[in-house]
Amino acid sequence: MTLPPAVLGKPYSLQFKTSCDSRYENYGFSAYVGTEPPGLKLSDTGLLSGIPVRVENKVLPYNYNVKVIATLYGGNPPKTCSQTFSLQVIDNVPPSLTYFGVTKNVLGAGGGSTDVIVKASDNDMMYWPKITVTYPDGKQYTYQAVLKSGSYSSGEFQAAIPLPANNTRADAVYKLSGLLIDKSGNTTTTQTLTVKVSSIVSRVAPTTIQPNIQVPAQRLPVR
């Protein structure tokens, strides 16, 4: 039998009941050792509850076989019955973005590079964030931000984005956006930033035109 799935990091609660022989009025529950997902416990009243936690060596979604044992008292001897249930732990929580920025918003006409900084966390594990750069002509290029500090569940990532020289007389504006992906496929999209590569500046001094002013001849008085 399959139980409702449990979500990683989210409270879970499920009540078990038994319908064994009516002569047994009192009963208690227990779980076979090690079959409950980490973070969940089965009480002696049959309540499976808790908050599923991440297990390093397990990739989500992950199936657990929970063996529930019901012991019924009131007869002689007590009666025990058990059943195994399938419980899947899933992750539907997207990564949490705490910072997305660039080290340079404006570059000179010669171009250069700017570093994109991404700070994020997840209740499981993340892949390298993807950074998409949209050029003024609409072309797009994708880069990966590598881990600089912390861990893949909570860390700072960085990507160096090269931008070409601008030989035109208009500023070239590039759009940068990021995509965070965790190992369960949940995604978070960042806001869009802009980086400007300034237009080329002419170094030729402008020509100055002097007005042609003619001074009329003056007559000297005759004596």
Look at residue 109 and tell me if it is in a domain. Answer: yes
Number of domains, the chain: 2
Span 164-182, mean pLDDT? 96
pLDDT of residue 56: 78
Span 1-26, mean pLDDT? 83
Distance from the Cα of residue 209 to its chain's centroid: 61
Percent of the chain with pLDDT over 90: 70
Whether residue 206 is predicted with pLDDT greater than 60 in this model: the reply is no
pLDDT of residue 121: 96
Using DSSP's 3-state secondary structure scheme, residue 7 falls into: strand
Whether 86 and 142 share a structural domain: no
**Span 117-142, pLDDT tens digits:** 999 999 888 999 999 999 999 999 99
Domain boundary residue, one of 90, 109, 124: 90
Q: Which domain holds residue 116?
A: 96-197
pLDDT of residue 154: 96
- The single-letter DSSP state of residue 11 is -
Whether residue 84 is predicted with pLDDT greater than 80 in this model: the reply is yes
| 71 within 8 A of 35, measured Cβ to Cβ | no
pLDDT of residue 21: 55
pLDDT of residue 23: 56
Whether 125 and 176 share a structural domain: yes
| 162 within 8 A of 133, measured Cβ to Cβ | no
Whether 109 and 45 share a structural domain: no
**CA 204 vs CA 114, 201, 207: distances in Å:** 30, 9, 9
Look at residue 143 and tell me if it is in a domain. Answer: yes
Whether 76 and 128 share a structural domain: no
**CA 173 vs CA 32, 111, 136: distances in Å:** 62, 12, 6
Q: Say what the pTM is.
A: 0.75
Whether 120 and 192 share a structural domain: yes
* Angstrom distance (rounded) from CA 190 to CA 192: 7
**Span 41-67, pLDDT tens digits:** 999 999 999 999 988 788 889 999 999
Residue with the bigger pLDDT between 198 and 58: it is 198
pLDDT of residue 204: 46
Look at residue 124 and tell me if it is in a domain. Answer: yes
Span 198-208, mean pLDDT? 65
Domain boundary residue, one of 90, 106, 122: 90
What CATH number is given to the structural domain containing 172? 2.60.40.10
Whether 48 and 80 share a structural domain: yes
